[in-house]
Amino acid sequence: MHKDFSDASRYAQSFDDPARDSWQRPAEVILHLRVPKGEVVVDLGAGTGYFLRWLSEATGPTGKVLALDIEPNMVAFMQERAQKQSLLNVEPRRVAPDDPGLLPESVARVLIVNTWHHIDQRPAYAEKLARALGPSGEVLVVDYTLEAEHGPPARHRLAPERVKSELEAGGLVAEIVEESLPDQYIVRGRRSAETSTR
């Protein structure tokens, strides 16, 4: 699913709508991410930076948040946001659609919210994420259920079982997480013992 996200200011009206908190439940998502203090955490497909304040606080001043997006206007929007909100440990970056551009074993957590269904060749992408994870690293995919009131048209949505299989095809050990989000599911992928040799 490809969509034009170049008008960052327009998308900010919905992405950063205070009403989003009631169904996105960012505090619960961050709890499931199990962020280790002082480590590098990635927000993949970060958009306007809705989760940046949460991630910045969770990693702490000695950690780093890499806010990745393929749209340059979104990256510019996040740079301005980080400056205004004094999120000193946040680094927005533009990345290619098919590559997160992360060094091997360089990150502890990868958060992917409402973005996985936009990615082409997802098993191959999952393999790149698996290589980027350090020891005990994890990927957390949060996406819309097939019945959600919010989100893309139903034909673009993915069942959690499919996301689980795609993460596993990329070399991760995956599980569907028990949660209480009203419109979304969570799938966790953990680095396996074989990841570093793939």
Nearest to 66 by CA among 97, 87, 84, 86: 87
Report the pLDDT value the prediction gives residue 197, as an integer from 0 to 100: 45
Residue 38 has pLDDT above 60, yes or no: yes
What one-letter code names the amino acid at 86? S
Report the pLDDT value the prediction gives residue 132, as an integer from 0 to 100: 98
Residue 105 has pLDDT above 50, yes or no: yes
How many Cβ atoms from other residues are within 10 Å of residue 163's Cβ? 24
Report the pLDDT value the prediction gives residue 1, as an integer from 0 to 100: 52
What one-letter code names the amino acid at 46? A
Report the pLDDT value the prediction gives residue 90, as an integer from 0 to 100: 98
Residue 79 has pLDDT above 60, yes or no: yes
Tokens read off for 185? 């599911």
Report phi then psi at 18, rounded to 5: -55, -25
Residue 193 has pLDDT above 90, yes or no: no
What one-letter code names the amino acid at 21? D
Please give the average per-residue pLDDT across 146-150, as a whole number: 90
* Contact call for residues 6 and 30 (beta carbons, < 8 A): no
Work out the mean pLDDT of the chain and round it to a whole number. Answer: 91
How far, in Å, CA of 167 to CA of 42, rounded? 17
pLDDT tens for 8-31 read 565 555 666 677 778 889 999 999
Report the pLDDT value the prediction gives residue 152, as an integer from 0 to 100: 84
Report the pLDDT value the prediction gives residue 23, as an integer from 0 to 100: 82
Domains of the chain in sequence order: 8-197 (3.40.50.150)
pLDDT tens for 117-138 read 999 999 999 999 999 999 999 9
Question: At a CB cut-off of 8 Å and minimum separation 6, what does 151 contact?
Answer: 114, 143, 144, 157, 183
Report phi then psi at 109, rounded to 5: -140, 145
Residue 57 has pLDDT above 50, yes or no: yes
Mean pLDDT check: name the lowest of 36-40, 146-150, 191-195: 191-195
Total number of residues shown for the chain? 198
